[in-house]
Amino acid sequence: MIWHNTRCSKSRGAHALLAERGVTPAVVRYLDDPPSREEIARVVGLLGGDPRALLRTGEPEYRALGLAGADDEAVLDALAAHPRLIERPVVLRGDRAVVARPPERALELLDGA
């Protein structure tokens, strides 16, 4: 599965790399169909447990919501309420996930598959 933004070159690149390897992931256009807070928390766990791993700090919402000093629960709430804050692309396979920046990180999930 890939949390995908078609306007993002990194997201398109990760999707293309997977396709080149014969992998056709389920595509979730997370801006159109945002994941629930529970799903975000699950993915954060797969990424190592720090919700900041999914946080886009350059977005205006980051500053407006004062997330620089926010605790993990506030960050999860913000990610759920403002999906533009979710870093992309997120690629999931089984019980593993990566933020595919650079896009080649998506290939890490193919190791041993």
Which of 4, 8, 71, 99 does the annotation list as catalytic?
A: 8
How far is it, in rounded angstroms, from Cα 81 to Cα 84?
9
Burial class (CB in 10 A: 0-12, 13-18, 19+), 32: exposed
**Catalytic residue list contains 8:** yes
Encoded tokens for 71: 């605790």
Which residues does the annotation mark as catalytic? 8
